[in-house]
Amino acid sequence: TNISTGEEVAIKLECIKTRHPQLHIESRFYKMMQGG
């Protein structure tokens, strides 16, 4: 829960040793979908 707004949030983690990291790609995709 966001302590400032009370809004529920989700956190996605990825192992630092992952051979093919995806979170940075997903982050860009979500920003693009939001118009930013």
Q: 8-35: per-residue pLDDT in tens?
A: 999 999 999 999 999 999 999 999 999 8
Residue 7 pLDDT: 96
Residue 29 pLDDT: 94
Global model pTM greater than 0.75: no
- Find out whether 14 and 23 touch, Cβ atoms under 8 Å: yes
16 DSSP 8-state letter? T
What's the start-to-end Cα distance of the chain, in Å?
24
Indicate if the alpha-carbon torsion angle 6, 8, 14, 20 is positive or negative. negative
